Chain A
Amino acid sequence: EVKLVESGGALVQPGGSLRLSCVASGFDFSTYWASWVRQAPGKGLEWVANIDQDGSRTFHVDSVEGRFTISRDNAKNSLFLQMNSLRAEDTAVYFCAREIPGGASSFDYWGQGTLVTVSS
């Protein structure tokens, strides 16, 4: 069974940092692109960042470029999102998701999400 389990969400002050983790199981994690997608309270979905199979290529949405960094550790079947200089508008549930091979960043499996709240 494919599973993605996120952790690391918390309440953090503006300007603070947080590191999200996602542990994958039930498939060969090292052969898939992976993404972070977020959803602000009561809002729609927003793709945040993705990373290729060996971590050599990463892409981030403009609104987080220079503040967030996606990375992975295939030996630990783990995906990470380092979030620095957090802003109130970063408040959201953050999902990790597996990308469909050749599917141009479409996602066939999602984690349950972890809540990040940025507030003083």
Chain B
Amino acid sequence: EIVLTQSPATLSLSPGERATLSCRASQSRASTYLAWYQQKPGQAPRLLIYVISDAFNRATGIPDRFSGSRSGTDFTLTISRLEPEDFAVYYCQRYGVFGQGTKVEI
């Protein structure tokens, strides 16, 4: 069973700062799939980044301050300069399994 461990649980930053969110997968697979979502209170999750066979893709309408990377079983979501609307909870997901989330707060 795949387990995704996100860190940190909470990230306290200011607008304009850089955010680095981590997601570690318990298993390595030959083909790489992962997705990152943003969720604000009372809203459905929104797809930000998805990875198919090692190719990182931003979802439609997602600004380029959001980017993703991978090193082995460690995946990173980077928000280059936080905008006020970026303060939310972020989830990674792989093969239907979700991480526990990282809250980015002001």
Contacts and interface: CB of A to CB of B under 8 A. Distances in A.
Contacts of B47: 100, 106-109
Q: Tell me the interface secondary structure of chain B in the complex.
A: strand
Given A102-B52, A106-B35, A108-B50, A47 B45 contact: no
Interface residues of A, number: 21
B45 A110 contact: yes
29 contacts: A44-B99, A45-B37, A45-B39, A45-B93, A45-B98, A47-B96, A47-B97, A50-B96, A61-B96, A100-B47, A100-B52, A102-B52, A103-B35, A103-B52, A104-B31, A104-B33, A104-B94, A105-B95, A106-B33, A106-B34, A106-B93, A107-B37, A107-B45, A108-B50, A108-B60, A109-B47, A110-B44, A112-B43, A113-B44
Interface of A: 35, 44-47, 50, 61, 95, 100, 102-113
